[in-house]
Protein backbone atom coordinates (compact mmCIF):
# COMPACT_ATOMS: atom_id res chain seq x y z
CA UNK A 1 0.00 0.00 0.00
CA UNK A 2 1.23 3.47 -0.86
CA UNK A 3 2.10 5.67 2.11
CA UNK A 4 -0.95 7.48 3.46
CA UNK A 5 1.18 9.98 5.35
CA UNK A 6 -0.26 13.33 4.39
CA UNK A 7 2.15 16.05 3.32
CA UNK A 8 1.02 19.65 3.11
CA UNK A 9 1.31 21.23 -0.31
CA UNK A 10 3.85 23.81 0.79
CA UNK A 11 5.90 21.47 2.98
CA UNK A 12 9.32 20.22 1.81
CA UNK A 13 9.02 17.22 -0.50
CA UNK A 14 9.77 13.80 0.97
CA UNK A 15 12.46 13.15 -1.67
CA UNK A 16 14.91 15.61 -0.14
CA UNK A 17 15.04 17.90 -3.16
CA UNK A 18 14.39 21.00 -1.05
CA UNK A 19 11.43 21.92 -3.25
CA UNK A 20 7.89 22.35 -2.03
CA UNK A 21 5.85 19.17 -2.22
CA UNK A 22 3.36 20.71 -4.66
CA UNK A 23 6.17 21.55 -7.09
CA UNK A 24 7.93 18.23 -6.76
CA UNK A 25 6.27 14.85 -6.05
CA UNK A 26 2.64 15.76 -5.33
CA UNK A 27 1.33 14.91 -8.81
CA UNK A 28 3.58 11.85 -8.87
CA UNK A 29 2.06 10.59 -5.61
CA UNK A 30 -1.46 11.26 -6.82
CA UNK A 31 -0.78 9.22 -9.96
CA UNK A 32 0.43 6.28 -7.88
CA UNK A 33 -2.68 6.51 -5.68
CA UNK A 34 -4.83 6.35 -8.82
CA UNK A 35 -3.24 3.04 -9.81
CA UNK A 36 -3.69 1.75 -6.26
CA UNK A 37 -7.38 2.74 -6.36
CA UNK A 38 -7.68 0.72 -9.60
CA UNK A 39 -6.52 -2.36 -7.68
CA UNK A 40 -2.88 -2.53 -8.74
CA UNK A 41 0.13 -3.25 -6.55
CA UNK A 42 2.09 -0.01 -6.15
CA UNK A 43 5.41 0.92 -4.52
CA UNK A 44 5.46 2.82 -1.27
CA UNK A 45 7.94 5.61 -0.63
CA UNK A 46 10.47 3.26 0.97
CA UNK A 47 10.93 1.59 -2.42
CA UNK A 48 11.36 4.83 -4.38
CA UNK A 49 14.93 6.09 -4.13
CA UNK A 50 15.76 9.77 -3.65
CA UNK A 51 18.37 11.49 -5.86
CA UNK A 52 20.92 11.33 -3.02
CA UNK A 53 20.32 7.61 -2.55
CA UNK A 54 20.60 6.95 -6.29
CA UNK A 55 23.97 8.71 -6.35
CA UNK A 56 25.17 6.50 -3.48
CA UNK A 57 24.04 3.37 -5.35
CA UNK A 58 25.86 4.52 -8.50
CA UNK A 59 29.11 4.93 -6.54
CA UNK A 60 28.74 1.43 -5.11
CA UNK A 61 28.16 0.16 -8.65
CA UNK A 62 31.57 1.46 -9.78
CA UNK A 63 33.20 -1.11 -7.48
CA UNK A 64 30.75 -3.83 -8.46
CA UNK A 65 31.51 -3.43 -12.15
CA UNK A 66 35.26 -3.21 -11.51
CA UNK A 67 35.18 -6.57 -9.72
CA UNK A 68 33.59 -8.36 -12.67
CA UNK A 69 35.90 -6.57 -15.10
CA UNK A 70 38.89 -7.87 -13.12
CA UNK A 71 37.49 -11.41 -13.21
CA UNK A 72 36.87 -11.12 -16.95
CA UNK A 73 40.54 -10.23 -17.53
CA UNK A 74 41.94 -13.41 -15.98
CA UNK A 75 39.29 -16.14 -15.73
CA UNK A 76 40.50 -19.29 -17.47
CA UNK A 77 40.79 -23.05 -17.41
CA UNK A 78 42.80 -24.31 -14.43
CA UNK A 79 41.96 -21.54 -11.97
CA UNK A 80 39.87 -22.32 -8.91
CA UNK A 81 36.65 -20.63 -7.92
CA UNK A 82 38.50 -19.56 -4.76
CA UNK A 83 40.83 -17.60 -7.06
CA UNK A 84 37.76 -15.72 -8.30
CA UNK A 85 36.66 -15.05 -4.74
CA UNK A 86 40.13 -13.69 -3.92
CA UNK A 87 39.98 -11.28 -6.87
CA UNK A 88 36.56 -9.97 -5.87
CA UNK A 89 37.50 -9.54 -2.22
CA UNK A 90 40.79 -7.78 -2.99
CA UNK A 91 39.25 -5.44 -5.59
CA UNK A 92 36.29 -4.57 -3.38
CA UNK A 93 38.35 -3.81 -0.29
CA UNK A 94 41.03 -1.86 -2.17
CA UNK A 95 38.29 0.39 -3.59
CA UNK A 96 36.81 1.00 -0.14
CA UNK A 97 33.86 -1.36 -0.33
CA UNK A 98 32.58 -4.46 1.44
CA UNK A 99 31.58 -7.70 -0.34
CA UNK A 100 27.85 -7.97 0.42
CA UNK A 101 27.66 -11.80 0.35
CA UNK A 102 30.44 -12.28 2.92
CA UNK A 103 28.75 -13.61 6.12
CA UNK A 104 25.31 -12.68 4.72
CA UNK A 105 22.98 -15.09 6.56
CA UNK A 106 26.03 -17.30 7.04
CA UNK A 107 27.31 -17.32 3.44
CA UNK A 108 31.07 -17.94 3.80
CA UNK A 109 32.52 -16.19 0.73
CA UNK A 110 32.62 -12.82 -1.07
CA UNK A 111 31.03 -13.89 -4.36
CA UNK A 112 28.85 -16.67 -5.81
CA UNK A 113 30.36 -18.94 -8.48
CA UNK A 114 27.84 -21.27 -10.14
CA UNK A 115 29.08 -23.78 -12.73
CA UNK A 116 27.12 -25.65 -15.43
CA UNK A 117 24.08 -27.23 -13.72
CA UNK A 118 24.37 -24.98 -10.65
CA UNK A 119 21.56 -22.43 -10.88
CA UNK A 120 22.91 -20.01 -8.27
CA UNK A 121 24.67 -19.55 -4.91
CA UNK A 122 27.68 -21.70 -5.74
CA UNK A 123 30.32 -21.37 -3.00
CA UNK A 124 33.92 -20.69 -4.10
CA UNK A 125 36.41 -23.39 -3.15
CA UNK A 126 40.09 -23.97 -3.87
CA UNK A 127 39.23 -27.57 -4.84
CA UNK A 128 36.75 -26.53 -7.55
CA UNK A 129 38.83 -26.05 -10.70
CA UNK A 130 37.46 -24.57 -13.93
CA UNK A 131 37.66 -27.03 -16.81
CA UNK A 132 37.64 -26.67 -20.56
CA UNK A 133 34.03 -26.41 -21.73
CA UNK A 134 32.56 -25.10 -18.47
CA UNK A 135 30.16 -22.20 -18.21
CA UNK A 136 30.16 -20.23 -14.97
CA UNK A 137 28.11 -17.44 -13.47
CA UNK A 138 29.99 -15.00 -11.23
CA UNK A 139 27.55 -13.06 -9.06
CA UNK A 140 29.04 -10.02 -7.34
CA UNK A 141 27.35 -7.77 -4.76
CA UNK A 142 28.91 -4.71 -3.17
CA UNK A 143 28.37 -2.35 -0.24
CA UNK A 144 29.83 1.16 -0.25
CA UNK A 145 28.89 3.64 2.48
CA UNK A 146 25.74 1.65 3.16
CA UNK A 147 24.62 1.48 -0.48
CA UNK A 148 24.26 -1.84 -2.32
CA UNK A 149 24.92 -2.85 -5.91
CA UNK A 150 24.49 -6.25 -7.54
CA UNK A 151 25.27 -7.87 -10.90
CA UNK A 152 26.49 -11.10 -12.47
CA UNK A 153 28.01 -12.27 -15.73
CA UNK A 154 28.42 -15.58 -17.50
CA UNK A 155 31.87 -16.73 -18.59
CA UNK A 156 32.64 -19.52 -21.06
CA UNK A 157 35.83 -21.46 -20.38
CA UNK A 158 37.84 -22.70 -23.36
CA UNK A 159 36.07 -24.80 -25.97
CA UNK A 160 32.43 -24.55 -24.99
CA UNK A 161 29.81 -26.66 -26.79
CA UNK A 162 27.40 -24.97 -29.17
CA UNK A 163 24.55 -26.06 -26.90
CA UNK A 164 26.05 -24.22 -23.94
CA UNK A 165 26.96 -21.16 -26.03
CA UNK A 166 23.36 -20.91 -27.15
CA UNK A 167 22.04 -21.10 -23.58
CA UNK A 168 24.40 -18.32 -22.48
CA UNK A 169 23.47 -16.14 -25.45
CA UNK A 170 19.71 -16.59 -25.14
CA UNK A 171 19.88 -15.85 -21.40
CA UNK A 172 21.70 -12.61 -22.18
CA UNK A 173 19.01 -11.78 -24.73
CA UNK A 174 16.38 -12.39 -22.03
CA UNK A 175 18.00 -9.72 -19.86
CA UNK A 176 18.20 -7.31 -22.80
CA UNK A 177 14.51 -7.89 -23.56
CA UNK A 178 13.72 -7.34 -19.89
CA UNK A 179 15.56 -4.03 -19.98
CA UNK A 180 13.64 -2.92 -23.07
CA UNK A 181 10.42 -3.55 -21.17
CA UNK A 182 11.28 -1.47 -18.11
CA UNK A 183 9.00 1.50 -18.72
CA UNK A 184 7.54 3.85 -16.11
CA UNK A 185 3.84 3.42 -15.37
CA UNK A 186 3.78 -0.14 -16.70
CA UNK A 187 4.06 -3.31 -14.63
CA UNK A 188 6.81 -5.68 -13.59
CA UNK A 189 4.59 -8.42 -14.96
CA UNK A 190 4.90 -6.92 -18.45
CA UNK A 191 8.68 -7.12 -18.22
CA UNK A 192 8.74 -10.58 -16.65
CA UNK A 193 6.39 -12.01 -19.25
CA UNK A 194 8.56 -10.70 -22.10
CA UNK A 195 11.58 -12.43 -20.56
CA UNK A 196 9.74 -15.71 -20.11
CA UNK A 197 8.32 -15.69 -23.63
CA UNK A 198 11.79 -15.35 -25.14
CA UNK A 199 13.17 -18.19 -23.02
CA UNK A 200 10.28 -20.50 -23.86
CA UNK A 201 10.48 -19.63 -27.57
CA UNK A 202 14.01 -21.00 -27.49
CA UNK A 203 13.02 -24.18 -25.69
CA UNK A 204 14.19 -23.18 -22.21
CA UNK A 205 12.49 -22.70 -18.85
CA UNK A 206 12.85 -19.93 -16.26
CA UNK A 207 13.17 -20.62 -12.54
CA UNK A 208 10.00 -19.48 -10.79
CA UNK A 209 10.78 -19.34 -7.09
CA UNK A 210 14.03 -17.34 -7.36
CA UNK A 211 14.10 -14.01 -9.19
CA UNK A 212 15.18 -10.41 -9.11
CA UNK A 213 14.73 -8.00 -6.23
CA UNK A 214 14.87 -4.42 -5.15
CA UNK A 215 18.40 -3.38 -4.21
CA UNK A 216 20.06 -0.21 -3.01
CA UNK A 217 19.58 0.51 0.68
CA UNK A 218 19.62 -3.19 1.52
CA UNK A 219 20.94 -6.29 -0.24
CA UNK A 220 17.45 -7.63 -0.96
CA UNK A 221 14.47 -5.29 -0.89
CA UNK A 222 10.92 -5.34 -2.18
CA UNK A 223 9.69 -5.94 -4.77
CA UNK A 224 10.35 -9.55 -5.69
CA UNK A 225 10.87 -9.53 -9.45
CA UNK A 226 9.36 -12.57 -11.16
CA UNK A 227 10.31 -13.58 -14.70
CA UNK A 228 7.35 -15.88 -15.23
CA UNK A 229 4.66 -13.28 -14.60
CA UNK A 230 1.66 -12.16 -16.63
CA UNK A 231 1.19 -8.77 -18.34
CA UNK A 232 -0.61 -6.21 -16.23
CA UNK A 233 0.33 -7.92 -12.97
CA UNK A 234 2.96 -7.43 -10.26
CA UNK A 235 4.10 -4.02 -9.01
CA UNK A 236 3.73 -0.78 -10.92
CA UNK A 237 7.10 0.51 -12.12
CA UNK A 238 7.68 4.19 -11.37
CA UNK A 239 10.69 6.52 -11.67
CA UNK A 240 13.09 6.07 -8.75
CA UNK A 241 12.65 2.32 -8.35
CA UNK A 242 15.89 0.30 -8.38
CA UNK A 243 15.84 -3.48 -8.90
CA UNK A 244 17.67 -6.34 -10.58
CA UNK A 245 16.86 -8.18 -13.79
CA UNK A 246 18.35 -11.67 -13.39
CA UNK A 247 16.39 -14.53 -14.95
CA UNK A 248 17.81 -17.97 -14.24
CA UNK A 249 17.31 -19.86 -17.48
CA UNK A 250 17.47 -23.66 -17.50
CA UNK A 251 18.15 -25.88 -20.47
CA UNK A 252 15.61 -28.37 -19.16
CA UNK A 253 13.05 -28.24 -16.36
CA UNK A 254 12.63 -25.17 -14.18
CA UNK A 255 12.68 -27.39 -11.08
CA UNK A 256 15.69 -27.33 -8.75
CA UNK A 257 17.01 -28.55 -5.43
CA UNK A 258 19.28 -27.15 -2.73
CA UNK A 259 22.58 -28.68 -1.67
CA UNK A 260 21.83 -30.34 1.68
CA UNK A 261 25.46 -30.22 2.79
CA UNK A 262 26.18 -26.50 2.36
CA UNK A 263 22.60 -25.19 2.50
CA UNK A 264 23.22 -22.72 -0.32
CA UNK A 265 23.99 -24.05 -3.78
CA UNK A 266 20.99 -24.54 -6.06
CA UNK A 267 21.13 -27.24 -8.78
CA UNK A 268 18.80 -28.05 -11.66
CA UNK A 269 16.69 -31.07 -10.77
CA UNK A 270 17.35 -32.80 -14.09
CA UNK A 271 21.09 -32.10 -14.10
CA UNK A 272 20.94 -29.96 -17.23
CA UNK A 273 22.74 -26.63 -17.47
CA UNK A 274 21.53 -23.25 -16.23
CA UNK A 275 22.65 -19.71 -17.04
CA UNK A 276 22.09 -16.28 -15.54
CA UNK A 277 23.06 -12.70 -16.29
CA UNK A 278 22.16 -9.94 -13.85
CA UNK A 279 21.91 -6.18 -14.18
CA UNK A 280 20.67 -3.57 -11.72
CA UNK A 281 18.43 -0.89 -13.19
CA UNK A 282 16.92 2.43 -12.22
CA UNK A 283 13.47 3.27 -13.58
CA UNK A 284 13.60 6.74 -15.16
CA UNK A 285 11.01 9.09 -16.63
CA UNK A 286 11.60 7.63 -20.09
CA UNK A 287 12.70 4.03 -19.48
CA UNK A 288 15.63 2.65 -17.53
CA UNK A 289 19.23 3.39 -16.63
CA UNK A 290 21.59 0.45 -16.25
CA UNK A 291 23.37 0.81 -12.89
CA UNK A 292 25.42 -2.42 -12.97
CA UNK A 293 26.20 -5.03 -15.58
Q: Give the DSSP per-residue string, 74-133.
A: H--TT-BHHHHHHHHHHHHHHTT-EETTTTGGG--SSSEEEETTEEE-PPP-TT-B--TT
Q: Is the pLDDT of residue 39 over 80?
A: yes
Q: Is the pLDDT of residue 4 over 60?
A: no
For the segment 40-61, what is each residue's pLDDT rounded down to a tens digit?
999 999 999 999 999 999 999 9
Number of independent structural domains in the chain: 1
Q: Is the pLDDT of residue 2 over 60?
A: no
For the segment 68-119, what is each residue's pLDDT rounded down to a tens digit?
999 999 999 999 999 999 999 999 999 999 999 999 999 999 999 999 999 9
- pLDDT-based confidence at 267, cuts 50/70/90? very high
132 is a domain residue: yes
- pLDDT-based confidence at 6, cuts 50/70/90? confident
128 is a domain residue: yes
- Domain span at residue 99 reads 45-292
For 283, phi then psi, to 5°, come to -75, 130
Over residues 277-290, the mean pLDDT reads 98
Query: What local confidence, expressed as pLDDT, does residue 5 receive?
Result: 73
How far apart are alpha carbons 34 and 267 in whole angstroms?
A: 42
Strand pairing report for 256-258 and 118-120:
unpaired
21 is a domain residue: no
30 is a domain residue: no
14 is a domain residue: no
Q: Is the pLDDT of residue 30 over 90?
A: yes
Average confidence score pLDDT of the chain? 97
* Percent of the chain with pLDDT strictly greater than 70: 99
Query: What local confidence, expressed as pLDDT, does residue 270 receive?
Result: 98
Q: Is the pLDDT of residue 136 over 60?
A: yes
17 is a domain residue: no
Contact by Cβ (8 Å): 14, 44: no
166 is a domain residue: yes
Task: Please report which helix (H) or strand (E) contains residue 281, including its range.
Answer: strand 279-283
CATH of the domain at 125: 3.90.230.10
How far apart are alpha carbons 46 and 144 in whole angstroms?
A: 20
- For residue 286, count other CB atoms closer than 10 A to its CB: 9
73 is a domain residue: yes
Query: What local confidence, expressed as pLDDT, does residue 3 receive?
Result: 56
For the segment 193-245, what is each residue's pLDDT rounded down to a tens digit?
999 999 999 999 999 999 999 999 999 999 999 999 999 999 999 999 999 99
Over residues 124-147, the mean pLDDT reads 98
Amino acid sequence: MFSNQKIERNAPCWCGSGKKYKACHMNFDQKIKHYEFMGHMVPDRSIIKTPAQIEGIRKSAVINIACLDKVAEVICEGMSTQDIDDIVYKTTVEMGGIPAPLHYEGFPKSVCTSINNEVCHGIPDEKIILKDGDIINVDCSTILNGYFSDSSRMFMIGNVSEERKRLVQVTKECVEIGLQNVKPWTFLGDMGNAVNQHAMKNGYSVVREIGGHGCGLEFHEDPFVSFVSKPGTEMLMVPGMVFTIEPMVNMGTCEFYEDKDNGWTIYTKDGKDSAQWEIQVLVTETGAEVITY
